[in-house]
Chain A
Amino acid sequence: MPESPPRPMIRLTGLTKHYPGQAEPAVDHLDLEVPEGEIVVFVGPSGCGKTTTMKLVNRLIEPTSGRIEIDGRDVTGVDPDRLRRGIGYAIQQTGLFPHRTVADNIATVPRLLGWGRERIAARVDELLAKVGLDPQTYRDRHPGRLSGGQQQRVGVARALAADPPVLLMDEPFGAIDPLTREALQEEFLRLQRDIRKTIVFVTHDIDEAVKMGDRIAIFGECGRVLQYDTPARILGEPAEGFVADFIGNGTNVRRLSLTRLCEVEVSDDRPVVVRGSGDGGCPTAPGSFALLVDRDRRPLGWAEPGQDRPLPLISHLGPEHTLHDALDAMLANNSDTVVVTDQDGRYRGTVEMATIQTHLHRVGGPGNEGGPVRGGERADRSIGTS
């Protein structure tokens, strides 16, 4: 998490949206800066104005007052259609054009911008490959013949088509089953490391916000931002009242997902046996295990003294996994140790339950002083879709 933000790509100043006939403004004097190349997540309960705020940025909703600057330019006076062609847009229901092929869908904005036929075709294939869909197979399909996850990938590809610097995403992974959703999130983060877009990402799911966001803006009622900070700070030092309630219980567990295993010191005091190294037995005391690895030091299983066959290794984790994954693996395997490898799959060490505990306490923060009274009355943090 960069401490000093790079220059702001989107700057909202005194932004207000007041629908006629409504007493309360939907968005009320909002000031917010989105730094270039970062994902900023708008999170909050339904009706909190997060989607409205997002749509104010590309002027799908016209503001009542206030300024919107993108890349240092005030866009409140620009032709909205032209403005939107320079801003990627992906939404939960994908909004793919059902009567057009995947390729035609992706080509929408490039065609509006008057790109040549060959340039568009090349771009379509490039993007399909980028979002993990084989161009040969999917280019000429219609959206109706894709799964939900595939549709969502096409939606992301379409938003990226004309290579806009700014991307607006409204719960893009909201309508997808949890497994696919997680995969898409991971993939998108990997993609983002590559493309470094400035992204406004709307969700009502605090877990997704923590996972996806470089920064999180927590919206309260009437489009007021109650806290705008990095995920670590929001989990570690939530602003009093609503934010703490919204984050809910389990902040410690959630904070674990902010730390990747490559940032964690692993212990390597486990004995390691290389298979076929010829020493036959294990140099360990009875009752303890040694890790069996192959010649390339890839973990194979646990060797127990006196046993010929090693116990299979249920799972091992790579550098991209988080402490949260490690804890999850421990609980799933009924073990207090999990094997960690480097990016080439070579044995790096182990993470123990104790490692996680010390890590949490070292990072510390007042996150664990829940307060006995509040615990019971905390609102359910997974709030319906907006």
Chain B
Amino acid sequence: MSTATASTAAPVAPAARNGGNGRPVLGPYAVRWARHLATPVVLGLVLLGLYLYVGAQDLDRIEQRSLNADYLLSRFGQHLWLSSVVVVLVLAIAIPLGVLLTRARMRRYAGAVLALANIGQATPSIGLIVLFAVVFLSWGINTIAVVAFVTYGVLPVLRNTMVGLDQVDRSVVEAARGMGLSRLRVLWSIELPLAVPVMLAGIRTALVITVGTVALATFIGAGGLGDVISNGISSNRDLVLFAGSVLVAVLALTIDWLGALVEDLLRPRGV
């Protein structure tokens, strides 16, 4: 999962930055928007292909139990809901924490907190969720799933918030302070807007990671599209497994595409 997200996130940043500088140049702009349009088209075609393929098969009863609209929609709904809760919590935790840890007074704790977040992400997510389920059994399945995935998703947002804020030119901040902007105003109207591109890249990564790892929620019985995959494995039905995997992949790529759109829309002009 992490290699997949790295490869989707990495090439976007430099290309986009080039486009941002030379505003009136049509080239990179057109290329970028063509890509923005191409992604949903391709994903739509994949879904259509999957639908036609599955529709053309003779499904046995076991396959029918997983591959019907009601079941898929309910798992899809669970998946989205769980992912949304996780992402909202990740943002609510990681962004303020990142801001706090880049303030002069708190900076000395940055290393320790980052190390902790690193552990959260370095642990294999399947291990993390099962471990949490075993240790915190009394919490309830959904809580455990959310806590595990939040632990997993905090790092990219936290790290990119810190990097984004740190790469803001010190002289810009100094000039702002020297002109009489309060610390809070400097943060709000100078530092955060300038950190947005880097922060969004991290948020996008976290989104994709979350949507992908939420598929593992099935292993502790928390539902989601992972159920479809799991059904396919346990009942030895490759078609079900295949359909579930494609659905998760398409969902993750759709989220990634949305993230790219937002990145382009929110990038401050002139940067």
Partners in one complex: yes
Partner-B contacts on A (CB < 8 A) = 58, 60, 81-86, 89, 91-101, 108-109, 112, 142-145, 155, 158-159, 168
CB of B181 within 8 A of CB of A108, answer yes
Which B144-190 residues have C-beta < 8 A from chain A? 169, 171-182, 190
Nearest Cβ distance between residue A168 and chain B, in whole angstroms? Answer: 8
Report how far A126 CA is from B178 CA in the complex, Å: 23
A interface secondary structure, majority: mixed
Which chain A residues border B19 with CB–CB below 8 Å?
Answer: none
Nearest Cβ distance between residue A210 and chain B, in whole angstroms? Answer: 26
Which listed residue, B173, B194, B270, touches A101 by the CB 8 Å rule?
A: B270
Which B39-83 residues have C-beta < 8 A from chain A? none
CB of B270 within 8 A of CB of A89, answer no
Report how far A84 CA is from B179 CA in the complex, Å: 5
Which chain A residues border B180 with CB–CB below 8 Å?
Answer: 81-86, 109, 112
Q: A60-B177, A143-B270, A144-B21 are in contact. Are A97 and B182 (CB under 8 A)?
A: no
CB of A91 within 8 A of CB of B178, answer yes
CB of B194 within 8 A of CB of A99, answer yes
**Interface presence of B12 (CB below 8 A):** no
Instruction: List 13 additional A-B contacts (Cβ < 8 Å) besides A84-B179, A94-B175, A109-B180.
Output: A60-B174, A83-B180, A89-B175, A94-B171, A95-B172, A96-B175, A98-B194, A99-B193, A99-B270, A99-B271, A108-B176, A109-B179, A144-B270
CB of B181 within 8 A of CB of A95, answer no
**Interface presence of B268 (CB below 8 A):** yes
Identify the interface centre among A89, A95, A101: most chain B CB within 10 Å of its CB: A95
In the complex, what residue of chain B is closest to A112 when comparing beta carbons? Answer: B180
Nearest Cβ distance between residue B251 and chain A, in whole angstroms? Answer: 33
8 contacts between A and B (CB under 8 A): A81-B180, A84-B179, A93-B169, A98-B172, A98-B268, A98-B270, A99-B194, A108-B176
Which B11-52 residues have C-beta < 8 A from chain A? 21
Which chain A residues border B171 with CB–CB below 8 Å?
Answer: 91-95
In the complex, what residue of chain B is closest to A82 when comparing beta carbons? Answer: B180
Which chain A residues border B173 with CB–CB below 8 Å?
Answer: 95
Which B86-106 residues have C-beta < 8 A from chain A? none
CB of B270 within 8 A of CB of A91, answer no
Report how far A101 CA is from B181 CA in the complex, Å: 18
Nearest Cβ distance between residue B23 and chain A, in whole angstroms? Answer: 8
Nearest Cβ distance between residue B44 and chain A, in whole angstroms? Answer: 35
Which chain A residues border B268 with CB–CB below 8 Å?
Answer: 98-99
Which chain B residues border A84 with CB–CB below 8 Å?
Answer: 177-180
Closest 3 CB pairs of A and B: A95-B175, A142-B270, A85-B180
Q: A81-B180, A84-B178, A89-B178 are in contact. Are A95 and B271 (CB under 8 A)?
A: no
Instruction: Give the bracket for the number of chain B residues in contact with chain A.
Output: 20 to 34
CB of B270 within 8 A of CB of A95, answer no
Which listed residue, A60, A92, A112, touches B178 by the CB 8 Å rule?
A: A60
CB of A96 within 8 A of CB of B179, answer no
B interface secondary structure, majority: helix
Which chain A residues border B271 with CB–CB below 8 Å?
Answer: 98-99, 142, 144
Q: A60-B177, A100-B270, A142-B269 are in contact. Are A95 and B194 (CB under 8 A)?
A: no
Identify the interface centre among A58, A60, A89, A159: most chain B CB within 10 Å of its CB: A89
Report how far A155 CA is from B179 CA in the complex, Å: 11
Nearest Cβ distance between residue A20 and chain B, in whole angstroms? Answer: 14
Nearest Cβ distance between residue B102 and chain A, in whole angstroms? Answer: 18
Report how far A353 CA is from B171 CA in the complex, Å: 46
Report how far A112 CA is from B177 CA in the complex, Å: 12
CB of A97 within 8 A of CB of B179, answer no
Nearest Cβ distance between residue B114 and chain A, in whole angstroms? Answer: 26
CB of A58 within 8 A of CB of B178, answer yes
Which chain A residues border B177 with CB–CB below 8 Å?
Answer: 60, 84
Identify the interface centre among B172, B180, B182, B190: most chain A CB within 10 Å of its CB: B180
Report how far A99 CA is from B271 CA in the complex, Å: 6
Nearest Cβ distance between residue A121 and chain B, in whole angstroms? Answer: 19
CB of A95 within 8 A of CB of B193, answer no
In the complex, what residue of chain B is closest to A86 when comparing beta carbons? Answer: B180
Report how far A168 CA is from B179 CA in the complex, Å: 10
Report how far A251 CA is from B2 CA in the complex, Å: 66
Report how far A142 CA is from B194 CA in the complex, Å: 13
Q: A84-B179, A84-B180 are in contact. Are A97 and B174 (CB under 8 A)?
A: no
Which chain B residues border A108 with CB–CB below 8 Å?
Answer: 176, 179, 181
Which chain A residues border B194 with CB–CB below 8 Å?
Answer: 98-99
In the complex, what residue of chain A is closest to B270 when comparing beta carbons? Answer: A142
Which chain B residues border A158 with CB–CB below 8 Å?
Answer: 179
Report how far A100 CA is from B179 CA in the complex, Å: 15
In the complex, what residue of chain B is closest to A58 when comparing beta carbons? Answer: B178
Report how far A58 CA is from B172 CA in the complex, Å: 17
Report how far A261 CA is from B193 CA in the complex, Å: 51
Which chain B residues border A94 with CB–CB below 8 Å?
Answer: 171, 175
Report how far A262 CA is from B175 CA in the complex, Å: 39
Which chain B residues border A91 with CB–CB below 8 Å?
Answer: 171, 174-175, 178
Which chain B residues border A81 with CB–CB below 8 Å?
Answer: 180-182
Report how far A369 CA is from B268 CA in the complex, Å: 60
CB of A85 within 8 A of CB of B21, answer no
Which chain A residues border B176 with CB–CB below 8 Å?
Answer: 95, 97, 108
Nearest Cβ distance between residue A157 and chain B, in whole angstroms? Answer: 13
Report how far A85 CA is from B176 CA in the complex, Å: 10
Nearest Cβ distance between residue A330 and chain B, in whole angstroms? Answer: 41
Report how far A98 CA is from B171 CA in the complex, Å: 11
Report how far A155 CA is from B175 CA in the complex, Å: 10
Identify the interface centre among B177, B179, B182, B270: most chain A CB within 10 Å of its CB: B179
